Amino acid sequence: MRNFRISDPRKLATYGFVMAVRGAFVLMRLIVVLGLPYVLGPAALGMFGTFSAIVAVLPTLVGLGVPQYLIRRLANNVHLPSFRILALHSLLGCGAALLVALAWIEIYPDIDALTGVFVAIVTAVEVVKVTLYSLAIARSSIIRANVVYVFSAAGPSIAVVFAYLFLDGQLNLATVIGLWVVTNTASLLIALTVVRRDVSTVFARTAWPAISRRYAAAIGGARNIFLNQIVDVARVYCDRLIVPLLVGFYWAGIYNFFALAANVSIMICSATFGQTDLPQLIKASEARSWGDFRRIVAAGVRNSILLPIAIMLPLFFLETVAAIVLKTPIDRSLYFGLTSAALLVAVSGSVADYLWCAVYAAHCEGRLGARALVTVPLGVVLVAAGTAIFGLVGALIAVALTNCAVTWLRWHALHAHILPR
């Protein structure tokens, strides 16, 4: 059986491209994290972190795990019934996400109506884009998927750069999110090329009762995937929704400076290892080649520990830069406490994300089920209590502890499903 290490020049080229694209993505995120508070103040970064959380959480909630359930069938061929259900579900989810986002924004009274509408539009587009992005990964279109990814995030950074260079720093948050709408829509158009073969067959006549029965079956079959997705969005984003409510957008902006640094590290690791290894993990699982599967997972976990450490270490030496960017002097002990806690979040989150790829590929998410769901209230309680008692550092440590709980459950599920064989 073939060894799936990086010996194929094409895979090396793919890794190189992914790293280059993710480098561009990191640059754009840095522009937002560094430029937005510098131009508009820390509160703007606090709001942007909340917007990012809403845009990430709602597609998962309205998706119900159905896209990922169907993508397994669509990964290697065109399966007309599955694609029809996927298209119908994405359109329904798009509308639902738009309405829920508009209502959700009302929880935060400091956000103006126009900005809230733009956030809702970004969220609606994200529902379809995320589905196509996942399908591109499953079909080994790694390059196209990463182009989609980096395009979708370009809008806010373009707005910040343009305002700094040509508008003397004059900018408002509605403009930033408005450009996000434009680039996210452009990324959706690119992502649609992944399904050009499928679209050619979707308009063939099919009885509605047949589609509705398959749709109901897909929702039922996706329940374990959905439970695990709820676990992920809760552990990654609940802090960005809870912290502003407890300490306000100003302090949430300072918190997001460190939380987003950890999040960028996690996303880089996920793209470099998890998403790139996922097609090979699926192939190994389908071939029941558990020896190759274990080797890929072992290497991926090791790399998911080392890379975030390498990415986060420079942050320890950027205290002066942080004070200039945030326009707020940060106590030295607080700065290093936040940086150390963010490092723990980056490492634990990267490993948890990689193990989800392995669990998904091995079809063993059913072994987690409701047991993993307990980490959702655990994470919410830890973040709320940590913030109330220990401040911003406590919130980051709470996220790291939640990541560790999820990691342990996923490793245990893999151990029970794979390692004894």
What letter represents residue 362's amino acid?
A: A
CA distance linking residue 267 with residue 261, whole number of Å = 10
Expressed in percent and rounded to 5, the helix, strand and coil fractions of the chain are: 85, 0, 15
Closest by Cα among 351, 62, 104 to 229: 62
Least confident of 57-66, 127-136, 238-247: 127-136
Q: Which two tokens stand for residue 202?
A: 């979707």
H helix intervals, 139-289 = 142-152, 154-166, 173-191, 196-199, 208-221, 223-269, 275-286
Whether pLDDT at 410 is above 50: yes
- Residue ranges of domains in the chain: 7-221, 223-421
Percent of the chain with pLDDT over 90: 18
Whether pLDDT at 102 is above 80: yes
- 95 vs 77, higher pLDDT: 95
pLDDT digits (tens, 9 = 90+) for 336-390: 999 999 999 999 999 998 998 888 888 777 666 667 788 888 889 999 999 999 9
DSSP 341: H
pTM: 0.76
User: Which residue, chain included where needed, has tokens 């989800």?
Assistant: 356
CA distance linking residue 218 with residue 78, whole number of Å = 17
CA distance linking residue 397 with residue 339, whole number of Å = 11
Whether pLDDT at 7 is above 70: no
Please, which residues have CB within 8 angstroms of residue 405's CB and are 6 or more apart in sequence? 375, 378
Closest by Cα among 23, 78, 16 to 276: 16
Whether pLDDT at 18 is above 70: no
CA distance linking residue 321 with residue 166, whole number of Å = 23
CA distance linking residue 364 with residue 376, whole number of Å = 20
